[in-house]
Amino acid sequence: MKRRTFIQRIFWGLTGMGFLSGLYAWQIEPFWLEFVKVKMHIKNLPNDLVGKTMMQISDIHIGTQFDYHFIINSFKKAKEFNPDFVVYTGDYVSVRNSEIQYEALTEVLENSVKGKIATIGILGNHDYGTNWQQTEVADKITNMFKEHKINLLRNEHTTFNGLNFIGFDDFWGLNFNPELAMKNFDDTKANIVLCHNPDVCDLDVWKNYKGWVLSGHTHGGQCKPPFLPPPFLPVKNKKYTAGQFNLDNGLTLYINRALGHSWQVRFNVRPEITIFELVKE
Protein backbone atom coordinates (compact mmCIF):
# COMPACT_ATOMS: atom_id res chain seq x y z
CA MET A 1 0.00 0.00 0.00
CA LYS A 2 1.30 3.39 -0.95
CA ARG A 3 2.08 5.79 1.89
CA ARG A 4 -0.39 8.38 0.56
CA THR A 5 -3.21 5.82 0.37
CA PHE A 6 -2.46 4.63 3.89
CA ILE A 7 -2.59 8.17 5.28
CA GLN A 8 -5.86 8.86 3.47
CA ARG A 9 -7.47 5.74 4.93
CA ILE A 10 -6.30 6.63 8.42
CA PHE A 11 -7.67 10.16 7.98
CA TRP A 12 -11.09 9.04 6.77
CA GLY A 13 -11.24 6.32 9.40
CA LEU A 14 -10.59 8.77 12.19
CA THR A 15 -13.05 11.22 10.64
CA GLY A 16 -15.71 8.52 10.56
CA MET A 17 -15.04 7.52 14.15
CA GLY A 18 -15.28 11.14 15.23
CA PHE A 19 -18.58 11.56 13.39
CA LEU A 20 -20.08 8.42 14.92
CA SER A 21 -18.88 9.39 18.42
CA GLY A 22 -20.39 12.83 18.02
CA LEU A 23 -23.67 11.36 16.79
CA TYR A 24 -23.74 8.96 19.74
CA ALA A 25 -23.04 11.75 22.27
CA TRP A 26 -25.72 13.97 20.72
CA GLN A 27 -28.54 11.61 19.77
CA ILE A 28 -28.16 8.38 21.75
CA GLU A 29 -26.64 8.71 25.22
CA PRO A 30 -28.63 11.84 26.26
CA PHE A 31 -31.77 9.69 25.94
CA TRP A 32 -30.37 6.39 27.25
CA LEU A 33 -31.86 6.39 30.74
CA GLU A 34 -30.35 4.26 33.50
CA PHE A 35 -32.15 3.28 36.70
CA VAL A 36 -29.47 2.99 39.39
CA LYS A 37 -30.28 0.92 42.49
CA VAL A 38 -28.61 1.70 45.83
CA LYS A 39 -29.10 0.35 49.36
CA MET A 40 -29.62 3.21 51.82
CA HIS A 41 -28.70 2.40 55.43
CA ILE A 42 -30.53 4.83 57.73
CA LYS A 43 -30.05 5.29 61.47
CA ASN A 44 -33.30 5.05 63.49
CA LEU A 45 -35.31 3.83 60.50
CA PRO A 46 -38.73 2.56 61.66
CA ASN A 47 -39.17 -1.18 61.16
CA ASP A 48 -42.19 -0.74 58.90
CA LEU A 49 -40.07 1.28 56.43
CA VAL A 50 -37.40 -1.40 56.01
CA GLY A 51 -37.43 -2.53 52.39
CA LYS A 52 -39.41 0.48 51.18
CA THR A 53 -38.11 2.35 48.13
CA MET A 54 -37.25 5.98 47.58
CA MET A 55 -36.77 7.35 44.08
CA GLN A 56 -34.57 10.39 43.41
CA ILE A 57 -35.18 12.48 40.30
CA SER A 58 -32.93 15.47 39.70
CA ASP A 59 -32.14 18.24 37.20
CA ILE A 60 -34.87 17.77 34.61
CA HIS A 61 -34.04 21.18 33.06
CA ILE A 62 -37.28 21.78 31.20
CA GLY A 63 -36.91 24.36 28.44
CA THR A 64 -35.87 24.48 24.81
CA GLN A 65 -32.38 22.92 24.92
CA PHE A 66 -33.71 19.36 24.36
CA ASP A 67 -37.05 17.64 23.76
CA TYR A 68 -38.71 17.62 27.19
CA HIS A 69 -40.94 14.71 26.15
CA PHE A 70 -37.93 12.56 27.04
CA ILE A 71 -38.60 13.54 30.66
CA ILE A 72 -42.27 12.60 30.38
CA ASN A 73 -41.40 9.24 28.80
CA SER A 74 -38.83 8.65 31.55
CA PHE A 75 -41.48 9.38 34.17
CA LYS A 76 -43.74 6.74 32.60
CA LYS A 77 -40.96 4.17 32.96
CA ALA A 78 -40.24 5.31 36.53
CA LYS A 79 -43.87 4.83 37.57
CA GLU A 80 -43.53 1.12 36.85
CA PHE A 81 -41.29 0.84 39.93
CA ASN A 82 -44.18 2.07 42.12
CA PRO A 83 -41.88 3.87 44.63
CA ASP A 84 -42.92 4.53 48.23
CA PHE A 85 -41.17 7.91 48.38
CA VAL A 86 -40.14 10.24 45.56
CA VAL A 87 -37.75 13.14 46.05
CA TYR A 88 -36.96 15.80 43.45
CA THR A 89 -33.63 17.54 44.01
CA GLY A 90 -33.81 20.74 41.98
CA ASP A 91 -33.18 22.44 38.63
CA TYR A 92 -36.59 21.99 37.06
CA VAL A 93 -36.11 24.62 34.36
CA SER A 94 -33.27 26.20 32.43
CA VAL A 95 -32.69 29.90 32.00
CA ARG A 96 -34.17 30.39 28.54
CA ASN A 97 -37.64 31.58 27.46
CA SER A 98 -39.60 31.64 30.72
CA GLU A 99 -43.11 31.36 29.26
CA ILE A 100 -42.17 28.40 27.06
CA GLN A 101 -40.51 26.60 29.94
CA TYR A 102 -43.46 27.21 32.30
CA GLU A 103 -45.88 25.75 29.77
CA ALA A 104 -43.65 22.75 29.26
CA LEU A 105 -43.09 22.32 33.01
CA THR A 106 -46.86 22.25 33.55
CA GLU A 107 -47.15 19.35 31.09
CA VAL A 108 -44.27 17.56 32.76
CA LEU A 109 -45.76 17.99 36.24
CA GLU A 110 -49.07 16.58 35.01
CA ASN A 111 -47.10 13.39 34.34
CA SER A 112 -44.87 13.54 37.43
CA VAL A 113 -43.89 10.48 39.44
CA LYS A 114 -45.48 10.33 42.89
CA GLY A 115 -44.61 8.21 45.91
CA LYS A 116 -47.19 6.01 47.59
CA ILE A 117 -46.27 7.54 50.95
CA ALA A 118 -44.84 10.98 50.09
CA THR A 119 -43.51 13.17 47.29
CA ILE A 120 -41.32 16.16 48.14
CA GLY A 121 -38.52 18.24 46.66
CA ILE A 122 -36.16 21.20 46.86
CA LEU A 123 -35.06 24.00 44.55
CA GLY A 124 -31.88 24.26 42.49
CA ASN A 125 -29.95 27.27 41.23
CA HIS A 126 -31.72 27.33 37.84
CA ASP A 127 -35.01 27.63 39.69
CA TYR A 128 -33.92 31.13 40.72
CA GLY A 129 -33.88 32.40 37.13
CA THR A 130 -31.26 34.60 35.50
CA ASN A 131 -28.00 34.70 37.49
CA TRP A 132 -29.88 32.86 40.25
CA GLN A 133 -31.29 36.22 41.40
CA GLN A 134 -35.02 36.05 40.60
CA THR A 135 -37.06 35.22 43.68
CA GLU A 136 -40.25 35.47 41.63
CA VAL A 137 -39.12 32.52 39.48
CA ALA A 138 -38.47 30.37 42.56
CA ASP A 139 -41.84 31.32 44.04
CA LYS A 140 -43.67 30.53 40.79
CA ILE A 141 -42.04 27.11 40.47
CA THR A 142 -42.76 26.37 44.14
CA ASN A 143 -46.44 27.16 43.59
CA MET A 144 -46.57 25.08 40.41
CA PHE A 145 -45.24 22.07 42.29
CA LYS A 146 -47.66 22.65 45.16
CA GLU A 147 -50.56 22.69 42.68
CA HIS A 148 -49.43 19.23 41.58
CA LYS A 149 -49.24 17.93 45.17
CA ILE A 150 -45.45 18.13 45.49
CA ASN A 151 -44.19 20.16 48.45
CA LEU A 152 -40.84 21.90 47.92
CA LEU A 153 -38.91 22.29 51.17
CA ARG A 154 -37.16 25.65 51.50
CA ASN A 155 -34.98 25.41 54.61
CA GLU A 156 -37.66 23.25 56.20
CA HIS A 157 -38.25 19.70 57.30
CA THR A 158 -41.22 17.35 57.12
CA THR A 159 -41.86 13.83 58.43
CA PHE A 160 -43.74 10.96 56.82
CA ASN A 161 -44.24 7.61 58.57
CA GLY A 162 -41.28 8.30 60.85
CA LEU A 163 -38.86 9.36 58.09
CA ASN A 164 -37.80 13.01 58.39
CA PHE A 165 -36.74 14.97 55.31
CA ILE A 166 -34.64 18.12 55.74
CA GLY A 167 -34.67 20.33 52.65
CA PHE A 168 -32.02 22.99 52.02
CA ASP A 169 -32.76 25.85 49.69
CA ASP A 170 -30.17 26.27 46.93
CA PHE A 171 -26.57 27.20 47.79
CA TRP A 172 -26.32 29.74 44.95
CA GLY A 173 -29.87 31.09 45.29
CA LEU A 174 -31.17 33.99 47.36
CA ASN A 175 -32.68 31.94 50.17
CA PHE A 176 -29.83 29.67 51.27
CA ASN A 177 -30.12 29.31 55.05
CA PRO A 178 -28.75 25.99 56.34
CA GLU A 179 -28.93 27.17 59.95
CA LEU A 180 -32.70 27.51 59.58
CA ALA A 181 -32.97 24.16 57.81
CA MET A 182 -31.07 22.41 60.62
CA LYS A 183 -32.59 24.44 63.46
CA ASN A 184 -34.79 21.63 64.78
CA PHE A 185 -32.51 18.76 63.85
CA ASP A 186 -33.25 15.74 66.04
CA ASP A 187 -30.61 13.00 66.05
CA THR A 188 -33.10 10.47 67.44
CA LYS A 189 -35.14 10.55 64.22
CA ALA A 190 -34.51 8.84 60.91
CA ASN A 191 -33.26 11.76 58.79
CA ILE A 192 -32.42 12.40 55.15
CA VAL A 193 -31.14 15.72 53.80
CA LEU A 194 -31.98 17.03 50.33
CA CYS A 195 -29.42 19.58 49.10
CA HIS A 196 -29.05 20.40 45.42
CA ASN A 197 -25.41 21.52 45.42
CA PRO A 198 -22.95 19.00 46.95
CA ASP A 199 -20.44 21.75 47.85
CA VAL A 200 -22.60 22.41 50.91
CA CYS A 201 -21.26 19.17 52.38
CA ASP A 202 -17.94 20.95 53.00
CA LEU A 203 -19.53 23.77 55.04
CA ASP A 204 -19.72 23.79 58.83
CA VAL A 205 -23.52 23.70 59.00
CA TRP A 206 -24.36 20.11 59.90
CA LYS A 207 -24.89 20.14 63.71
CA ASN A 208 -23.40 16.67 64.12
CA TYR A 209 -25.68 15.21 61.45
CA LYS A 210 -24.34 11.85 60.27
CA GLY A 211 -26.40 10.51 57.42
CA TRP A 212 -27.42 10.74 53.79
CA VAL A 213 -27.35 13.89 51.69
CA LEU A 214 -29.01 13.61 48.26
CA SER A 215 -27.74 16.07 45.67
CA GLY A 216 -27.69 16.72 41.94
CA HIS A 217 -26.31 19.80 40.17
CA THR A 218 -23.16 18.31 38.63
CA HIS A 219 -24.79 16.08 35.97
CA GLY A 220 -21.62 14.03 36.43
CA GLY A 221 -20.04 16.55 34.08
CA GLN A 222 -22.21 15.13 31.24
CA CYS A 223 -19.06 14.13 29.35
CA LYS A 224 -16.32 12.03 30.91
CA PRO A 225 -13.32 10.70 28.99
CA PRO A 226 -12.51 7.07 29.86
CA PHE A 227 -10.18 6.80 32.89
CA LEU A 228 -10.15 10.60 33.33
CA PRO A 229 -12.22 12.99 35.46
CA PRO A 230 -14.93 15.10 33.79
CA PRO A 231 -13.40 18.29 32.33
CA PHE A 232 -16.28 20.46 33.53
CA LEU A 233 -17.99 20.38 36.92
CA PRO A 234 -19.95 23.33 38.37
CA VAL A 235 -18.64 22.76 41.90
CA LYS A 236 -15.69 23.98 43.94
CA ASN A 237 -14.83 20.50 45.17
CA LYS A 238 -13.91 18.65 41.98
CA LYS A 239 -14.14 15.22 43.61
CA TYR A 240 -17.92 15.66 43.66
CA THR A 241 -18.70 14.08 40.32
CA ALA A 242 -21.50 11.52 40.62
CA GLY A 243 -22.48 8.54 42.74
CA GLN A 244 -21.86 7.77 46.42
CA PHE A 245 -19.22 9.40 48.63
CA ASN A 246 -18.56 8.49 52.27
CA LEU A 247 -17.18 11.76 53.66
CA ASP A 248 -14.83 12.29 56.60
CA ASN A 249 -17.42 14.36 58.49
CA GLY A 250 -19.81 11.40 58.65
CA LEU A 251 -22.02 12.39 55.74
CA THR A 252 -22.95 9.92 53.04
CA LEU A 253 -23.34 12.00 49.89
CA TYR A 254 -25.13 10.73 46.80
CA ILE A 255 -24.94 12.81 43.61
CA ASN A 256 -27.50 11.94 40.96
CA ARG A 257 -26.21 12.30 37.36
CA ALA A 258 -29.38 14.22 36.32
CA LEU A 259 -32.26 13.15 34.13
CA GLY A 260 -32.18 16.24 31.91
CA HIS A 261 -29.31 18.14 30.34
CA SER A 262 -27.87 21.65 30.38
CA TRP A 263 -27.05 20.98 26.72
CA GLN A 264 -27.91 17.93 24.62
CA VAL A 265 -24.65 16.05 24.79
CA ARG A 266 -23.53 13.19 27.03
CA PHE A 267 -20.61 10.83 26.82
CA ASN A 268 -19.93 8.09 29.37
CA VAL A 269 -22.42 9.77 31.76
CA ARG A 270 -25.91 8.41 31.11
CA PRO A 271 -29.00 10.20 32.49
CA GLU A 272 -30.07 8.68 35.80
CA ILE A 273 -33.01 8.00 38.06
CA THR A 274 -31.92 6.54 41.40
CA ILE A 275 -33.90 3.96 43.38
CA PHE A 276 -32.88 3.57 47.02
CA GLU A 277 -33.88 0.58 49.09
CA LEU A 278 -34.28 1.64 52.73
CA VAL A 279 -32.29 -0.48 55.17
CA LYS A 280 -32.01 -0.19 58.96
CA GLU A 281 -28.50 0.81 60.07
Residue 91 — pLDDT band, cuts 50, 70, 90?
very high
Of 7-21, 25-39, 82-96, 238-252, minimum mean pLDDT range: 7-21
Grade residue 24 by pLDDT with cuts at 50, 70 and 90. very high
Contact 72, 103 (CB under 8 A): no
Angular region, 224: left φ>0, alpha ψ -120 to 50, beta rest? beta
Query: Domains of the chain: which residue ranges?
Result: 32-280
Q: Quote the percentage of the chain above a pLDDT of 70.
A: 91
Q: CA 96: distance to chain centroid?
A: 20
Q: Tell me the CB-side half-sphere exposure of residue 61, using CA atoms within 13 A.
A: 23
**Model confidence at 179, in pLDDT bands (50, 70, 90)?**
very high
Going by pLDDT thresholds of 50, 70 and 90, the confidence category of residue 17 is very low
Task: Please give the Cα distance from 61 to 210 (Å, whole number).
Answer: 30
pLDDT of residue 38: 98
* CATH architecture of the domain with range 32-280: 4-Layer Sandwich (3.60)
Confidence of residue 64 (pLDDT cuts 50, 70, 90): confident
Confidence (pLDDT) at 245: 98
pTM (two decimals): 0.93
Sheet holding 252-255, edge to edge: 156-160, 163-167, 190-194, 212-215, 252-255, 243-246
Query: Across-strand partners of 157?
Result: 166
Mean pLDDT value across residues 214-237: 96
Q: Quote the CA–CA distance of 88 and 263 in Å, as a whole number.
A: 20
Strand boundaries in the chain, DSSP class E: 34-42, 53-57, 85-89, 118-122, 151-152, 156-160, 163-167, 190-194, 212-215, 243-246, 252-255, 272-280
Q: By percentage, how much of the chain surpasses pLDDT 90?
A: 87
Does 99 have pLDDT greater than 80?
no
The strand pairing partners of 158, in sequence order, are 165
Residue-level pLDDT at 6: 38
